[in-house]
Amino acid sequence: MPFKELTIRGYECQNDRAQVEDLERRCKVGPSQSVLDAMGDPMCRIRNSPMCIMLVAEEDNELVGVIQGSIKMVTVHNHPPKDMAKVGYVLGLRVAPYSRRKGIGSSLVQKLEEWFISNDVDYAYVATEKDNHASINLFMNKFGYIKFRTPTILINPVNHHSFPISSNIEIARVKVEKAESLYRNFMGSIEFFPSDIENILRNKLSLGTWVACFKGDSDFGPDGQVPNSWAMLSVWNSGEIFKLRLGKAPPSCLLCTKSWNLIGRIFPCLKLATLPNFFSPFGFYFMYGVYQEGPFSGKLVRALCKFVHNMASKKSEHCKIIVAEVGGRDELNHHVPHWKLLSCPDLWCIKALKNEGTGMFHELTTNTPPKALFVDPREV
Ligand SMILES: CC(C)(COP(=O)(O)OP(=O)(O)OC[C@H]1O[C@@H](n2cnc3c(N)ncnc32)[C@H](O)[C@@H]1OP(=O)(O)O)[C@@H](O)C(=O)NCCC(=O)NCCS
């Protein structure tokens, strides 16, 4: 067979869009065989980042692979000079099924890393399903990425009924300026906190930031005072830019879904949440920047989550689930309502792109991970 020449180049919307969309449809990702519908904009997942790129792999004028990357500054403890590092996020790697195991995925990753390096990036990182062996082998065995964090993706279905919220809890929406100052003061030192938090909060996909406290507890003062117990979160409307569809679900999940929906139909008085049909495209709200402080703040987090649920159930017929992603050891795991059956661990892998960061990198990947981790909604 004649040798086909492989070219890696930047994505050109006008010429490549249809082929990239087609490739995305043909590439089922990981054991869940999930497929992403970018609703006409294949760059939708990176467009909101401070710097981004999409590369395509072409063989004889045929598009056979694609990769995306974004760059931003985040908090990384002990990273000189000011606990800040420039990180490059790798996402959306896809190679056409019949072109796999020929080095195309590797060529795309290599070119993306070169772009990161030319932009002075300290660390590249990627998030993958822990059972996606092809992806894990590629990044860890071939490119030397190291397992870094294992946050948990918490998923809760959206029910048609509203959840009641305790009358002694006050929930208020805060302005972007106030939200930014709360985030910088209380979450600024959390690992991977983005330095451009204001861009996230001001983005049209960000539906708002809400705080909760108990009635009668001291208020949020103009000089940064906070109540004894309080919580906050923000909501990102991911369904506005893409939809997801699962190709396969574990048999246990299918069985449970069927039984659960049947019980709900037989006993409507139980008001059970019906599980969404994950096999047809669905959107979701992503709760980010979830923070709690004070002895009774768990209750406040739960109230905020109910509030977000009720908002989704009222405002968006496409929003079928509420998603949050929290650090593996984060206390929030206990307070953010989720279905264990639907929730899953995520695997973040990281690689140092600069030699001088070696000692720091060792520390980053071997120390016990901090409890909390900021998950940027732009990277979901
Ligand atoms: C993951 C994917 C991009 C790999 O693309 P590819 O072009 O086949 O990758 P390469 O040929 O460069 O393979 C590089 C290395 O990855 C690993 N690898 C690739 N496919 C693998 C598989 N099916 N099983 C196990 N390891 C695999 C191997 O270590 C391989 O090196 P080797 O061929 O020398 O053994 C491709 O399988 C794909 O598009 N999968 C669906 C989408 C996806 O899961 N993307 C990753 C999301 S983070």
Q: What are the pLDDT digits (tens) for 207-232?
A: 999 999 999 887 787 777 899 999 99
Task: Give yes or no for residue 133 CB within 6 A of ligand 1.
Answer: yes
Mean pLDDT, rounded, of the chain: 88
Least confident among 164-178, 236-250, 353-367? 353-367
Q: Compute the Cα dihedral for 144, 324, 42, 209 and give only its sign.
A: negative
Compute the distance between CA of residue 331 and CA of residue 299 in angstroms, rounded to an integer. 12
- Residue 87: band (very low, low, confident or very high) from pLDDT cuts 50, 70, 90: very high
Give the contacts of 254 (CB within 8 A, at least 6 positions apart): none
Q: Which residue has a Cα nearest atom 37 of ligand 1?
A: 134
Most confident of 178-182, 217-221, 356-360: 178-182
Question: What is the average per-residue pLDDT within 254-278?
Answer: 59
CA atoms in the 13 A half-sphere facing the CB of 112 = 35
Burial 333-351 (b: 16+ CB within 10 A, else e): bebbbbbeebbbebbbbbb
32 has pLDDT over 90: no
The structural domains of the chain, with segments of one domain joined by +, span 6-150+346-379, 154-344
Burial 166-193 (b: 16+ CB within 10 A, else e): eeebbbeebebebbbebbeebbeebbbb
Q: Report the top-level CATH class of 154-344.
A: alpha beta
CB 367 within 8 A of CB 149: no
Residue 329 has pLDDT above 80, yes or no: no
Q: Choose among 285, 380, 287: nearest CA to 45.
A: 380
Distances (CA, A) of 354 to 123, 130, 260: 8, 26, 51
Looking at residue 101, what is its pLDDT?
Answer: 97
* Residue 264: pLDDT over 70: no
pLDDT band of residue 265 (cuts 50, 70, 90) is low
Beta strands in the chain (DSSP E): 6-10, 35-37, 51-59, 62-75, 84-95, 123-129, 146-149, 152-157, 169-174, 206-214, 230-237, 243-245, 283-293, 319-326, 344-352
DSSP code, position 371: S
Mean pLDDT of 140-157: 92
Regarding the beta carbon of 204 and ligand 1, being less than 6 Å apart is answered no
Give the pLDDT score at 268.
57
Whether residue 143 is predicted with pLDDT greater than 90 in this model: the reply is yes
CATH architecture of the domain with residue range 6-150+346-379: 3-Layer(aba) Sandwich (3.40)
Q: Is the CB of 141 under 6 A from ligand 1?
A: yes
What spacing in Å lies between the alpha carbon of 260 and ligand 1's midpoint? 37
Range scoring the smallest mean pLDDT among 39-43, 241-245, 359-363: 359-363
Minimum CA distance residue for ligand 1 atom 4: 105
Nearest partner of 277 among 157, 154, 155, 153, judged by Cα? 157
Binding site membership of 103 for ligand 1 (Cβ less than 6 Å)? yes
pLDDT at 31 over 70: no
- Confidence (pLDDT) at 170: 95
- pTM for the model: 0.90
Terminus-to-terminus CA distance in the chain, angstroms?
40
Q: Which atom of ligand 1 is nearest to the CA of 127?
A: 48
Answer whether 6-150+346-379 and 154-344 agree in fold: yes
Taking the CA of residue 106 as reference, the ligand 1 atom at the shortest distance is 12
119 confidence band (pLDDT: 50, 70, 90): very high
Task: Indicate the top mutation candidate among 138, 379, 380 to test ligand 1's pocket, ranked by most ligand atoms within 8 A of CB.
Answer: 138
pLDDT band at 238 (very low <50, low <70, confident <90, very high): very high
**Rounded Cα–Cα distance for residues 249 and 247 (Å):** 7
Say yes or no to pLDDT of 327 above 90. Answer: no
pLDDT of residue 250: 58
Which protein residue's CA is at the shortest distance from atom 7 of ligand 1?
105
Lowest mean pLDDT among 4-8, 167-171, 181-185, 368-372: 368-372
